[in-house]
Structure 1
Amino acid sequence: MSLDPVNRLSSIVALIQRRQSAAEGATPARSKATARSRSKPAVALDSLGKRVMARIDAIAPDDPQRRRKVFTTFIEAALLNELGENLINDAGFHQMVDTISQTLLEEPLLSAQVETAIDALLSAPG
């Protein structure tokens, strides 16, 4: 059985959104407003991509942790895109990003897909 890493990440994001909504005591009206605020126009996604690539370019080419940092940067951007930029200031957000990144990096079934994603990020024009 082949696992699609994008679908798996989407499932993780959906679970986090449900838990975040439950923790915040979101009402249906609030949930709809939050969902609308999270939908990103193409321009915003382009800007997000540029910011991610700028952060990746800032990682030293000889950094022994470069591949891990590139993947973590991608996961952080994906979560911020899905859950809202305001999470960047949340005390537990970076720990959550590190935990998710580490879990995905250590998952043997995703190894090839993760390496392919990292290679694509490193070869993308910045």
Structure 2
Amino acid sequence: GRGPEGSSLRQVHIDMASPRIGAGEGMRVFDDTGRPTPFLERIADQLRALDEDYVAATAFFAALQRHDLLEPLTLDVTLEDGSKNRLVGYHVIDEDRLEALDPASVAELHAEGHLLPIFMALASLGQIGDLVARKNRRLAHG
């Protein structure tokens, strides 16, 4: 969790009422002196990385919205076995709107570190056909 407002302090909270927490078997989170064990430090590092990514993702999506670059995506896929699959609630980057951005907006996205992720997201859309083909191969081979 986060510390007091305006603080950069991060805390690991443990629900002592959880059935996963006990005094018997398991991984210790504190050593005999009360210091975090390497296990807890590794968990704290993972939580820190998740929090940093959350903050970065929030800024990234805010930039996409600020420049009106998101558009909804509904993807209908019919597999070779005849099954129909619909993916709803996703968004993609509108390539036409991106291309129409003025140079100052593109420079702003670049300065904020968002341009590369935008292009990577666009490139990943080209993999959808390969993913469908892979799924069809798996279905064919059981």
TM range (shorter): under 0.3
Report 1 or 2 for greater relative contact order, CA contacts < 8 Å, sequence distance ≥ 6. 1
Which one has a bigger Cα radius of gyration? 2
Question: Counting strand residues as a fraction of each chain, which structure ranks higher?
Answer: 2
TM-score, structure 2 length as denominator? 0.21
Larger relative helix fraction = 1
